[in-house]
Chain A
Amino acid sequence: MTSASRNFDVLIVGAGPAGMAAACCASENGLRVAIVDNNPQPGGQIWRGASQSSAVPEAAPWYKKLAASRAQVLSGTEAYDHPAPGKLLASSPGGVCEISYAKLILCTGARERFLPFPGWTLPNVIGAGGLQALVKSGFSIAGKKIVVAGSGPLLLAVAAYLREHGGDVRLIAEQSSWPRLIRFGLALAFQKEKLAQSFALKCQLAGIPYKAGCWPVAAEGNGRVESVTLRSGNKTWKEACDYLACGFFLVPNVELPLLLGCELRAGFVRVDDFQQTTIPEVYCAGEPTGIGGLDLSLVEGQIAGHAAAGNREAARKLFRERDRSRKFAAALGRAFSLRDELHSLPADATFICRCEDVTLARLRNHSCWRAAKLQTRCGMGSCQGRICGPAVEFLLGWKPESVRPPIYPVSVSSLAKNISIESQSSLQEELR
């Protein structure tokens, strides 16, 4: 074994709420536990950077528990290959390292779904969660006109956050219809806490128009977005903006689970009651098993952590809570499913693949992913199809092909540097 390799009883990929909860529970049993995560700080999409502030009350106990546990947090570290059973390769700005594990828990989260429309590649057209993340990482949007569009409860959270930070949020355009949302609202009513949360949000939002059954059809501007064309029913109009924050609900990050050979069901990682995937000793928790928000990610993470540590009794006690949250997840999926009209969003000349600048017209000449990839390089650029893949699946019905390592590009210079995990522990000290 080289100095760059290291052994853990339980290795977790992803330090969002699911991964943090898994780490806390797995290390209760005195096991050697580590989390790798490609962000600079633990917290995942919802809590990113929250360890620095007390602004997020529900995050604080988890950061405390994680710091008190003996789990090692390797931030800025990305798992990109699975060279042999029980081993992952990970890269960080310092180089690459091999990490061995007895049990693996995949908590890789989700990303926003982006749908191409004319003008979506203009600067300042950005993901809804994307703009929020940018502001969380130091960017100022004070006084800027912002239209928030797309689909999902994230739009509400983002609009509230941007307004709190001085953004002039003009409109929230939700593609789903009122009838769908009302049905979803009824499902919410069975979960009192959730209802309270959504009311609290509504209050914050007072004054920001929320339009359901409304979606962006084009973005216009010279060098950056200056306006967005919106449609609602038969009506089409332009709304001036400095930013268009736009995402169409979420898609799970299943690249690493697929690389490990985990089976999917309807696009999500298939797990048993104990969150174990179809590959023995490999568990999965949080958004990759179903988009269900914070509570579901936390409870699945805890179950996976206990189960991986062999504490099945503790895991079992959480089944009921998880099943309740899963019902919420199912309602979410139904409420925000994409309307048919969105199939005609891109024009022939619209780039579908932003990495290789491939237009819809060029893709239409092909009958499947494989042919399109060979002829156009669609999906073969840096993002490896993470952005265009879900769009192509929705627009053309092509299912993603199997994934190949490395699942993230690794630079030759970092391959040359094998680093030891010990040299990274200073990073972890800073977090405490």
Chain B
Amino acid sequence: MPDAISVTVNGTAVRVPLNSTALVAILMSRASSPARFVRRSLSGEPRGPLCAMGICFECRATINNQRHSRTCLILCAPGMDIRTDD
């Protein structure tokens, strides 16, 4: 990746293209598992992004200690700390 930056998802380093959203970093961190989910629903279902435009809240995670951040609306910055709730 020529213009890549590094962030951490649940403590593990992930390299993403420049101008990627935090959501992309989460999905890339799950590349080896077939289920690319972001969070668990109230009844425990795995959920991934639906709208990718800040409407559905299915992509929410903790970014730099800010809980319930919509990761599809936030660009990755070097060293960003992203944590999913599962």
Contact = CB atoms under 8 A, between A and B. Distances in A.
B80 to A, nearest CB: 11
Interface string B27-69: 1100000111110011101111111111111101001001111
B16 interface: yes
Interface residues of B, number: 41
Interface stretch (A129-137, A170-178, A285-293): A129-137
B73 A38 contact: yes
Contacts of A112: 51
Contacts of B19: 49, 52, 137-138
B57 A382 contact: yes
B21 interface: yes
Given A49-B19, A224-B35, A382 B68 contact: yes
A223 B35 contact: yes
B10 interface: no
A158 to B, nearest CB: 12
B41 A111 contact: no
Contacts of A111: 51, 53, 55
Interface stretch (A265-273, A334-342, A349-357): A349-357
Interface in B1-18: 16-17
Nearest to A133: B52
Given A40-B73, A76-B73, A133-B72, A139 B24 contact: yes
B82 interface: no
A246 to B, nearest CB: 10
Contact of B66 (A76, A354, A411): A411
B1 to A, nearest CB: 10
A153 interface: no
Interface of A is mostly: loop
Nearest to B37: A123
A121 interface: yes
Given A38-B54, A134-B23, A357-B43, A123 B66 contact: no
Contacts of A387: 50-51, 55-56
A76 B21 CA distance: 12
Contacts of A76: 73-74
B84 interface: no
B50 A114 contact: yes
A170 B37 CA distance: 23
A413 interface: yes
B27 to A, nearest CB: 6
B26 to A, nearest CB: 10
Interface in A381-414: 381-383, 386-387, 409, 411, 413-414
A139 B57 contact: no
Contacts of A357: 41-43, 45
B54 to A, nearest CB: 6
A126 B53 CA distance: 11
A409 B54 CA distance: 12
Contacts of B49: 126, 130, 134
Contacts of A52: 19
A355 B57 contact: yes
A138 B3 CA distance: 11
A133 B19 CA distance: 12
B24 A134 contact: yes
A124 interface: yes
A224 B49 CA distance: 12
13 contacts: A93-B69, A114-B50, A114-B51, A123-B35, A127-B53, A130-B51, A137-B52, A223-B46, A224-B35, A224-B48, A354-B50, A387-B56, A409-B68
Given A127-B51, A137-B19, A356-B42, 6 more contacts: A111-B51, A125-B50, A137-B20, A354-B50, A355-B57, A357-B43
Interface of B: 16-17, 19-21, 23-24, 27-28, 34-38, 41-43, 45-58, 60, 63, 66-69, 72-75
Interface of A: 38-40, 45, 49, 52, 76, 78, 93, 111-112, 114, 121, 123-127, 129-131, 133-134, 137-139, 223-224, 351, 354-357, 381-383, 386-387, 409, 411, 413-414
